[in-house]
């Protein structure tokens, strides 16, 4: 289901609908023309009426009021506002499972949720929407705000512009997702499992002859097709060879820092990058999947991407993994296996993914953890970086636009951007960077 439909779990944040932030705060008289028109628009939609009652009750419960008129009092009375904030902190602390902690501990978590919400926007400003960073910059007063009560009251404060009030509402939504993610991480103890995973790799998977962090510097010298910029040929070069190389048209030089694993007495090189999603990335994934529950939407919290010389080396590494788990006194099962390294079309369900993607992907369940593994050969890895319609940078643009997340976070009615043109421009820009950079 799209995040932009009225059935979306984020429907109350949509700017295109009955819960949109308007030029004036939603504090009109109950019998005013504006309110009568709004009621007429939703009177025949039971879902919207139910969502409205739910949102209204949440606002009243968090602020400790019984009517919209009482909100104006909180806006202008610092003493009552501070009392409402203290009460809200207690309620939110208990909701996110940090109840029983000190007030300072709850406030620390709320500040962290606010930082994550800001990081979501900054991450898009830094890459996918970098040329438009100034257009989508968040209002200063919203960036510095962290208290949910302050943000909520901004929605009803006529001193704040429409854009600022929308950003306050958006930040509250993102903070709520950040809180759910933090609660899930504490329940699953993901930080400890991540350290345990690294310990397993160092103790049982990598070659014992190498110190932790001792990596071999190698370069992949590749020649790419002029048709789709896929890898036609690849050769592994030592650092000295790469430095003396002059690249021609359609050629790339890609750094890989390789570890080694030992299989039947033979050390096999492998480039490895560990993947642990940051909270902002998890928030974006929840938005893309139109989900508020991290347990059902974020299944790749722990992951590893590895690059090996050949398909045979990939097979040897998978076997080495299961044997290593057994030596660590844990059985390992492989789940949700997808293998397109030797042909076939990748059946990815994610919006924006390409059927031409080649890789071996699976989840390994071992030691109380479920870890996502993505394995590449040198050739498939280079296609993952450079090939047209496959490259990960292009995929990032497609999935953030085509899932509706960009429009959800930066609605054209507020930011006055032509998102269709921006999508096409960014795809072309990333393609130029890939091929000419």
Question: Which pLDDT tens digit goes with each residue over 180-208?
Answer: 999 999 988 888 888 999 999 999 999 99
Judge whether 267 and 261 are in contact, CB under 8 Å. Answer: yes
Of the candidates 383, 384, 408, 414, the one whose C-alpha atom is nearest the C-alpha of residue 396 is 384
Pairing of the two strands 333-339 and 266-276: unpaired
- For helices 69-76 and 78-95, what crossing angle results, to 10°? 110
Query: Which of the residue ranges 91-100, 315-324, 387-396 would you say has the lowest mean pLDDT?
Result: 91-100
Mean pLDDT, to the nearest integer, of 49-59? 86
Mean pLDDT, to the nearest integer, of 263-272? 94
pTM score, two decimals? 0.91
* pLDDT the model gives residue 28: 54
* pLDDT the model gives residue 169: 96
For residue range 124-178, what is the model confidence (pLDDT) as tens digits?
999 999 999 999 999 999 999 999 999 999 999 999 999 999 999 999 999 999 9
Q: Answer yes or no: is pLDDT of 37 > 90.
A: no
Judge whether 1 and 7 are in contact, CB under 8 Å. Answer: yes
Distances, alpha carbon 58 to alpha carbons 39, 53, 427, in Å: 19, 9, 41
Beta-sheet strand order (sheet of 216-224): 231-238, 216-224, 251-263, 266-276, 302-308, 369-377, 360-366, 333-339
For residue range 357-395, what is the model confidence (pLDDT) as tens digits?
899 999 999 988 889 999 999 999 999 999 999 999 999
pLDDT band at 6 (very low <50, low <70, confident <90, very high): confident
Between 344 and 360, name the one with better pLDDT. 360
- Extract the tokens encoding 361: 């992907």
Q: Identify the burial level of 118 via C-beta atoms within 10 angstroms of its C-beta, where 0-12 means exposed, 13-18 middle and 19 or more buried.
A: buried
Query: Which of the residue ranges 5-14, 301-310, 372-381 would you say has the lowest mean pLDDT?
Result: 5-14
Between 33 and 272, name the one with better pLDDT. 272
Q: Could you state, in order of their start, the residue ranges of all structural domains in the chain?
A: 11-188, 190-216+258-390
Mean pLDDT, to the nearest integer, of 1-12? 83
* pLDDT the model gives residue 351: 58
* pLDDT the model gives residue 1: 61
For residue range 60-92, what is the model confidence (pLDDT) as tens digits?
999 999 988 899 999 999 999 999 999 999 999
pLDDT band at 355 (very low <50, low <70, confident <90, very high): low
Query: Which of the residue ranges 97-111, 317-331, 408-422 would you say has the lowest mean pLDDT?
Result: 97-111
* pLDDT the model gives residue 159: 94
Judge whether 379 and 230 are in contact, CB under 8 Å. Answer: no
- Extract the tokens encoding 228: 């789709």
Q: Which CATH number fits domain 190-216+258-390: 1.10.10, 3.30.1420, 3.30.460, 3.40.50?
A: 3.30.460
Distances, alpha carbon 428 to alpha carbons 130, 324, 405, 431, in Å: 14, 44, 20, 5
Q: Exposure string (b/e) for 352-376, b if CB count within 10 Å is 16 or more? A: bebeebbbbbbbbbbbebbbbbbbb
103 DSSP 8-state letter: H
Distance CA 354, CA 375 (A): 17
pLDDT band at 269 (very low <50, low <70, confident <90, very high): very high
- Extract the tokens encoding 198: 């690294």
E strand or H helix at 40: helix 33-42
Q: Answer yes or no: is pLDDT of 427 > 70.
A: yes
Q: Answer yes or no: is pLDDT of 119 > 90.
A: yes
């Amino acid at each position: 289901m799209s995040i932009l439909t009225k059935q979306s779990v984020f429907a109350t944040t949509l700017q295109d609908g009955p819960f949109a932030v308007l030029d004036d705060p939603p504090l009109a008289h109950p019998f005013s023309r504006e309110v009568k028109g709004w009621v007429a628009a939703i009177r025949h939609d039971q879902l919207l009426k139910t969502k409205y009652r739910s949102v209204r009750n949440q606002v009243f419960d968090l602020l400790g009021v019984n009517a919209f008129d009482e909100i104006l009092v909180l806006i202008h009375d610092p003493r009552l506002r501070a009392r409402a904030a203290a009460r809200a902190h207690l309620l939110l602390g208990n909701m996110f499972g940090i109840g029983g902690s000190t007030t300072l501990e709850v406030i620390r978590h709320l500040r962290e949720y606010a930082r994550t919400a800001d990081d979501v926007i900054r991450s898009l400003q830094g890459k996918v929407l970098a040329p438009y960073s100034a257009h989508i910059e968040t209002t200063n007063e919203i960036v510095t705000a962290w208290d949910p009560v302050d943000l909520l009251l901004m929605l009803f404060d006529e001193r704040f512009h429409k854009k600022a009030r929308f950003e306050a509402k958006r930040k509250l939504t993102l903070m709520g997702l950040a809180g759910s993610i933090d609660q899930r991480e504490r329940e699953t103890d993901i930080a400890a499992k991540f350290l345990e995973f690294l310990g397993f790799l160092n103790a049982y998977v990598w070659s014992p002859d190498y110190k932790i962090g001792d990596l071999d510097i190698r370069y992949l010298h590749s020649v790419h097709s002029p048709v789709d910029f896929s890898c036609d040929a690849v050769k592994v070069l030592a650092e000295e060879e790469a430095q003396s190389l002059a690249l021609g048209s359609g050629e790339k030089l890609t750094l890989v820092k390789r570890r080694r694993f030992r299989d039947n007495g033979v050390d096999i090189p492998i480039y490895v990058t560990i993947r642990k999603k940051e909270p902002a990335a998890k928030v974006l994934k929840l938005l893309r999947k139109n989900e508020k529950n991290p347990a059902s939407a974020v299944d790749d919290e722990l992951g590893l991407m590895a690059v090996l010389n050949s398909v045979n080396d990939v097979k040897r590494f998978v076997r080495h993994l299961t044997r290593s788990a057994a030596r660590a006194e844990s059985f390992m099962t492989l789940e949700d296996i997808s293998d397109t390294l030797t042909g076939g079309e990748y059946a990815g369900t994610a919006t924006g993914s390409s059927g031409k993607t080649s890789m071996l992907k699976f989840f390994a369940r071992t030691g109380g953890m479920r870890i996502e593994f993505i394995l590449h050969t040198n050739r498939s890895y280079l296609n993952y970086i450079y090939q047209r319609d496959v490259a990960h940078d292009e995929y990032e643009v497609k999935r953030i636009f085509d899932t509706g997340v960009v429009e959800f976070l930066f609605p054209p009615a507020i930011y006055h951007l032509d998102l269709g043109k921006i999508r096409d421009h960014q795809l072309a820009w990333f393609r130029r960077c890939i091929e000419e950079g």
